[in-house]
Amino acid sequence: MESLSLLIFFASIMVTAIAGIIYYTEMKTRTYVQLFFSFFVLIMMYLMLVGAIVYLYSPSTFSLGIAVAINMIPMIIILALFFSIAENLSRQIILTRKINIAFSLLLVLNEALMGGVFSLAQLGISVFKNVVVDISIPLNSVWFFYPMMIEMLFTIILSSTLSKDTFYNLIYFAFPAIGVAAFPPTILNFNLWIFSALGIDMIFVIYGILKANKEWKILYSLLMISLIPIIFNFYIFFGIMMSVIMVFYYYTILSELRVKRAHT
């Protein structure tokens, strides 16, 4: 198990890196070459985290070799592919729905894997007992929620450049998600926190159901349902639902930023 201060230091670096990628992709990217760079960094970060999980599950020279291979082999393949088609990537970018969804998924996958890596480093392998627990712990850890909250706040800052009406419409769906991420009932295992956070989160979610558009009303309704099993110490539905909301969050808010940039 690693010291908490060291884990916080490395988590801060990764959050800063992801925020930088978001800023670069949304505010600076003009060509497919630049977009490739953004995806390449996210994919390599994803593979690095996968390799770290492999090593932390069973620390040995063999698992270290596997972790290195997980990073190096895909990197070589991706770079070889890039150089073979680089000439075709210099044209002006057209950000399609598929690209937006892929970018949003990669962001959330990296956040989820951060939760897994840092939970493993903090708690050790003994708490990971089965597949449900292996998924539930990373998606309900402080290492998932608070980095996610910081990145959400960062995208809100970027969104302040949008028109007033668009910005406030985004706030209506974003505010409840940020509020729930700030008070996740699953990060601390004592009743006072769990039930206090549940009460606070229900207020945020009800606000989202009342204020957000149709799609987000559905998402927040499902999030409300996912809060109920927490009372019975079953956390996985809440973690999965928050992950789904994060994908929709990034897709929605970053798409608005791209529309705005296209008209400037």
Cα angle value 202/137/10 (rounded, 5°) = 105
- Residue 262 above 60 pLDDT? no
- Structural domain span for residue 99: 4-262
CB 173 within 8 A of CB 252: yes
Q: What tokens appear for 110 in the block?
A: 């990296």
- Residue 205 above 70 pLDDT? yes
Tokens 């909250």 label which residue? 149
CB 197 within 8 A of CB 184: yes
Tokens 């699953």 label which residue? 186
CB 258 within 8 A of CB 95: yes
> Could you report the per-residue pLDDT of 19-43, keeping only the tens digit for each?
999 998 888 888 888 888 999 999 9
Question: What is the reported pTM?
Answer: 0.90
Report the pLDDT averaged over residues 88-97: 73
Output the CA–CA distances (angstroms, integers) from residue 131 to 4, 70, 126, 143, 146, in the order listed.
26, 21, 13, 19, 24
Q: How far apart are CA 15 and CA 5, in angstroms?
A: 15
Domain count for the chain, please give it. 1
> Mean pLDDT score of the chain, rounded to an integer?
88
- Residue 178 above 60 pLDDT? yes
Report the pLDDT averaged over residues 217-238: 94
